[in-house]
Chains A and B, each alone.
Chain A
Amino acid sequence: MLRLKRILGVVARQVFLYRRSFSRILDLFYWPTMDILLWGFLTLYLERGTLHLPRFVSFFLGALILWHILYRSQLAVSVSFLEDIWSRNLLNLMVAPLSLTEYMLGLIAISLIKVSLAFTIMASLAGLFYGFNIFKLGMSLVPFVVNLLALGWGIGFVTIGFVFRFGQEAEILAWALAFVFLPISAVFYPLAVLPPLVQKLAWFTPSAHVFEGMRAVIAEGTLPTEHILWACGLNLLYLFFGAWVMHRQYEYARRQGLIPKIGE
Chain B
Amino acid sequence: MEVVLEVKNLVKEFGKQRALAGISFTLSRGELLGIIGPNGAGKTTLLNCLLGLVTPTEGEIRFFGLELEKHRTHILSRINFASNYVGLPLSLTVFENLVVYGLLYGVTGIRKRAEHLLRLFGLWEMRNQKTRHLSSGQMMRLCLAKALMNDPEVLLLDEPTAGLDLEIAEMVRDLIKNYQRERGLAVIFTSHNLHEMENLSDRVILLNEGRIIAEGPPRELCRRFGARNLEEVFFKALHGRETRHAQA
Contacts and interface: CB of A to CB of B under 8 A. Distances in A.
Contacts of A251: 55
A99 interface: yes
Contact of B87 (A6, A9, A89): A89
B74 interface: yes
Contact of B73 (A89, A94, A97): A97
Interface stretch (A45-53, A80-88, A139-147, A148-156): A80-88
**Minimum-distance CB pairs A-B, first 4:** A9-B103, A9-B104, A88-B87, A97-B77
B207 to A, nearest CB: 16
A133 to B, nearest CB: 37
Contacts of A12: 96, 99-100, 103
Contacts of A93: 104
Contacts of B93: 16
Contact of A99 (B73, B87, B105): B73
A56 to B, nearest CB: 42
Interface stretch (A107-115, A196-204, A256-264): A256-264
Contact of B104 (A10, A20, A87, A255): A10
Nearest to A98: B104
A21 interface: yes
A8 B102 CA distance: 10
Contacts of B90: 87
Interface in B65-92: 72-77, 80-81, 83, 85-92
Contacts of A99: 73
Contact of B100 (A13, A95, A259): A13
B104 A257 contact: no
A88 B87 CA distance: 5
Interface of B: 12, 14, 19, 44-45, 48, 51-55, 72-77, 80-81, 83, 85-93, 96, 99-106, 146
Given A16-B96, A89-B86, A9 B91 contact: no
B76 A17 contact: no
Contacts of A20: 91
A6 B103 contact: yes
B91 A17 contact: yes
Contacts of A16: 89, 91-93, 96, 99-100
Size bracket, chain A contacts: 20 to 34
A5 B103 contact: yes
Nearest to A84: B89
Contacts of B89: 13, 16-17, 83-84, 87, 89
Given A251-B55, A259-B54, A260-B53, A87 B88 contact: yes
Interface in A174-203: none
A5 B106 contact: yes
Interface in A48-93: 83-84, 87-89, 91-93
B62 to A, nearest CB: 17
Nearest to B150: A97
A96 interface: yes
A255 B89 CA distance: 27
B68 to A, nearest CB: 12
**Most chain B beta-carbon contacts within 10 A, residue among A10, A87, A93:** A87
A91 B12 CA distance: 19
A255 B106 contact: no
A203 to B, nearest CB: 40
A136 interface: no
A254 B54 contact: yes
Contacts of B91: 16-17, 20-21, 87
